[in-house]
Amino acid sequence: MSMPTSEPPTMVAGEVGAGATRLIIRRPDDWHVHLRDGPMLAAVVNYTARQFARAIVMPNLDPPVTTVAAARAYRARIVAALEPGVDFEPLMTCYLTDSIDPAEVAQGFTQGVFTACKLYPAHATTNSAL
């Protein structure tokens, strides 16, 4: 069996090619990020924002993001912490609990506030005592 000697074809995002073996993603998404809040949020958000176009932001704050209002407020804090000129879209999640109102979750999706919901087993991770 002989090995090919030429460079493999390159596939740039948006191109389609049967022989392509490489895909170049210009600005990927982060599908699981913990930005936290307060000083920690301010310290870390721009590292994520410089690398990723969008990120699904985990809701396990203290208190957790369980309402549309809380998600909007958290998103506003994230955007306010971004450096000027940084193009980044935080995708907000809702923290599912036994007592959450299903109408609140539906409202969040209908209004485009919640991208996803996250279920944490009690005491399994940071701020998951609910």
For residue 3, the model assigns a pLDDT of 46
**Backbone dihedral angles phi then psi of residue 43, each to the nearest 5 degrees:** -75, -30
Question: How many CB atoms sit inside 10 A of residue 19's CB?
Answer: 7
The string of DSSP letters for 65-81 reads --SHHHHHHHHHHHHHH
Q: What is the sign of the dihedral through the CA atoms of 122, 114, 81 and 84? A: positive
**Backbone dihedral angles phi then psi of residue 22, each to the nearest 5 degrees:** -140, 140
CB 54 within 8 A of CB 19: no
pLDDT-derived band at 4 (thresholds 50, 70, 90) equals very low
Question: How many CB atoms sit inside 10 A of residue 67's CB?
Answer: 19
Q: Pseudo-torsion of CA 113, 106, 116, 12, nearest 10°?
A: -70
4 vs 99 pLDDT, higher one:
99
Strands 114-119 and 89-96: parallel
23-64 tens-digit pLDDT: 787 889 999 999 999 999 999 999 999 999 999 999 999 999
- Tell me if residue 106 falls in helix, strand or coil: helix
60-82 tens-digit pLDDT: 999 999 999 999 999 999 999 99
96-112 tens-digit pLDDT: 998 999 999 999 999 99
Does residue 15 carry a pLDDT above 70?
A: no
For residue 14, the model assigns a pLDDT of 56
Instruction: Quote the longest CA-to-CA distance of the chain.
Output: 63
Domain positions in the chain are 28-119
pLDDT-derived band at 8 (thresholds 50, 70, 90) equals very low
